[in-house]
């Protein structure tokens, strides 16, 4: 029979994992088989720099936490075999991008799938997420598209003014 202390520790771990799943913008599930200790250490360091957390967890504990968070049951299919989890709290793209680069470089491991903003997605969805440009680039593109019509209007008005001879002053209204 299980020790009461061990049961309490496992319950606390499940609560902690459920909290991590709730706080994370994205969680990438990763099969780490074949990686050396040095490669895993380098991957953890890269994750840490990007503000992500890389952990190896027991699938049974993750299944309990996922049930507690009421996530889609399809995630259970991803929890077969050894699994590592990359939690992205500030940037949803960072863990996917780092792990995709690692898979390309090392050719030893695979991405199983993950959770993005509370929705379970397969490996193809994580791949698509990794292809997104960084947040700063997306913001710059959005601002550029917002300013484009205003810039176009200014250019057209300038061309009209030049075509009319330029320095016509608007008539002041008499009061």
> What is the Cα–Cα distance from 2 to 51, expressed in whole angstroms?
37
161 or 69, greater pLDDT: 161
Give the residue-averaged pLDDT of 39-63. Answer: 89
Domain count for the chain? 2
Q: Is residue 96 part of a domain?
A: yes
Per-residue pLDDT band at 85 (split at 50, 70, 90): very high
Calculate what percentage of the chain has a pLDDT beyond 90: 6
- 113 near 71, Cβ under 8 Å? no
Task: For residues 44 and 119, state if they share a domain.
Answer: yes
Q: How does the average pLDDT of the chain come out, rounded?
A: 83
Q: Give yes or no for residue 173 having a pLDDT over 60.
A: no
Task: For residues 120 and 140, state if they share a domain.
Answer: no
Q: Give yes or no for residue 74 having a pLDDT over 80.
A: no
Task: For residues 31 and 114, state if they share a domain.
Answer: yes
Task: For residues 142 and 80, state if they share a domain.
Answer: no
Residue 145 belongs to domain spanning: 134-165
Task: For residues 35 and 79, state if they share a domain.
Answer: yes
Q: Give yes or no for residue 171 having a pLDDT over 80.
A: no
Q: Give yes or no for residue 152 having a pLDDT over 60.
A: yes
From the list 79, 70, 76, the residue with the least C-alpha distance to 22 is 70
Q: Tell me how far apart the 2 most distant CA atoms of the chain are, in Å.
A: 97
Task: For residues 142 and 109, state if they share a domain.
Answer: no
68 Cβ contact partners less than 8 Å away, ≥ 6 residues apart: 14, 15, 18
CATH assignment of the domain containing 99: 3.30.70.1730
Give the residue-averaged pLDDT of 118-125. Answer: 83
For 7-29, how does the pLDDT look when each residue is reduced to its tens digit (9 = 90+)?
898 888 888 888 888 888 888 99
What pLDDT, on a 0 to 100 scale, did the predictor assign at position 87?
92
Task: For residues 79 and 58, state if they share a domain.
Answer: yes
Per-residue pLDDT band at 136 (split at 50, 70, 90): confident
Q: Is residue 28 part of a domain?
A: yes
148 or 171, greater pLDDT: 148
Q: What is the pTM of this model?
A: 0.71
Calculate what percentage of the chain has a pLDDT beyond 70: 92
């Amino acid at each position: 029979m299980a020790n009461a202390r061990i049961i309490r520790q496992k319950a606390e771990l499940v609560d902690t994992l459920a909290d991590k799943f709730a706080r994370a913008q994205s969680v990438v599930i990763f099969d780490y088989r074949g990686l050396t200790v040095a490669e895993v250490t380098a991957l953890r360091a890269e994750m840490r720099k990007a503000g992500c957390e890389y952990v190896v967890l027991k699938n049974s504990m993750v299944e309990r936490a996922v049930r507690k968070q009421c996530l889609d049951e399809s995630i259970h299919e991803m929890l077969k075999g050894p699994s590592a989890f990359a939690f992205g709290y500030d940037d949803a793209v960072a863990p996917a991008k780092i792990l995709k680069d690692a898979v390309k470089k090392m050719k030893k491991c695979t991405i199983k799938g993950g959770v993005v903003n509370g929705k379970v997605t397969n490996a193809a969805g994580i791949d698509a997420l990794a292809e997104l440009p960084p947040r700063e680039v997306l913001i710059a593109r959005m601002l550029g598209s917002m300013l484009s019509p205003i810039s176009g209007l200014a250019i057209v008005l300038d061309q009209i003014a030049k075509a009319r001879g330029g320095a016509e002053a608007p008539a002041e209204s008499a009061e």
